[in-house]
Amino acid sequence: MRAVEVTQFGGPEVLVVTESPEPVPGPGQVAVAAAYVDTLFMDIQLRSGAWKDFFPIRPPYIPGDGVAGTVVRVGPGVDQAWAGRRVVALTQGVGAYAEQTVATLDQVVAVPDALDLKVAAALVHDGRTAYALAESTGVRPGEWVLVLAAAGGLGLLLVQLAQAAGARVIGAARGSRKLEVILEHSAELAVDYSDVGWTEQVAAATAGRGPDVVFDGAGGLIGGQALQLTASGGRFSAHGAPSGEFADVHVDQVRHRQLTVKGIEQAQLDAGDGSRVTAQALTEAAAGRIGPLVGQTFPLEKSAEAHAAIEARAVVGKTLLVI
């Protein structure tokens, strides 16, 4: 089968198409023939070696952690009824950039018949994460919500979920194209955080109080600026670090302003909760109540081009690989 391998830490050019044997599912596992493969900014950070001190993954390896496709083989102890079912699956951080991959059954969720596999693939990570963050943060009607990196796959879902909860939503991203997409997805205001005065725009929109809830998918300096903006008594979700680091959170500031700050642990679900919120996201999408944006697709053999585009911040919505 075709697979893409990270041959060494480095730039997109280290992604090389190879031939690998088809995986054999072990006890409690299934083999999935992928139709679409999810891509994450974490794939890039792992490939570059930037996070090698935090993750044990070393080249050569097949990257990727999420697919949508069809179960083609089941391992010992798995009900044969799974064979032929359309599913999304997580693969424990590696192995997804391939025509076939294996996953343990507790990381596999059936896809509703009414839902296209492309849409399902866009939700395999972002859907579960968005619903987990929304549950943890508890957006309430009438609140102001600021979503950073709002034009990405996860950000656009958070915009939709906050709006559906009755909140007034501000989306922040970089560039006019992304701002247009944010507004198309029901945000009340879109601001460009590459502009020096972006924080003033948010403050003005919220009558000087600041947002009640911040979903920080940017991290770094931008996340730190958003934390400063957060209304006293507000909630701050620091779950993203595409800049290479999370927002700098000062404990004294948090205590003084009575902020509730939560980190990436909100999205680190056990198998049961992960499957529950993933199934919820798939069901809501099948019913048309949420709509992930697949902004661009690349064939598997052009994974390096996909990484280059994501790394250059030249993508909108979700980026998928097509098998």
Query: How far is Cα of residue 55 from the mean position of the Cα atoms in its chain?
Result: 18
Instruction: Give the pLDDT confidence of 192-220 residue by residue, as tens digits.
Output: 999 999 999 999 999 999 999 999 999 89
Confidence of residue 48 (pLDDT cuts 50, 70, 90): very high
Whether the CB-CB separation of 163 and 187 falls below 8 Å is answered with yes
Domain spans in the chain, listed from the N-terminal domain onward? 2-110+293-322, 127-267
pLDDT score at 255: 85
Token pair recorded at residue 62: 């097949």
pLDDT score, position 275: 94
Specify whether the CB–CB gap between 143 and 155 falls below 8 A.
Answer: no
> Distances in Å between the alpha carbon of 22 and those of 2, 36, 67, 73, 77?
9, 17, 16, 11, 20
CATH class of the domain whose range is 2-110+293-322? alpha beta
pLDDT in tens, 142-162: 999 999 999 999 999 999 999
In CATH, the number for domain 127-267 is 3.40.50.720
pLDDT at 138 over 90: yes
**C-alpha distances out from residue 18 to 3, 67, 210, Å:** 5, 19, 51
Share of the chain above pLDDT 70, in %: 99
> Model's pTM, two decimal places?
0.92
Q: Which residue has the tokens 């700098």?
A: 248
Measured CA to CA, the distance from residue 314 to residue 298 in angstroms comes to: 14
pLDDT at 216: 95
Q: For residue 278, is pLDDT > 80?
A: yes
- Angstrom CA distances, 297 to 60, 100, 116, 140, 292, stand at 25, 18, 15, 35, 14
pLDDT score, position 294: 98
Tokens at 225, concatenated: 């600026």
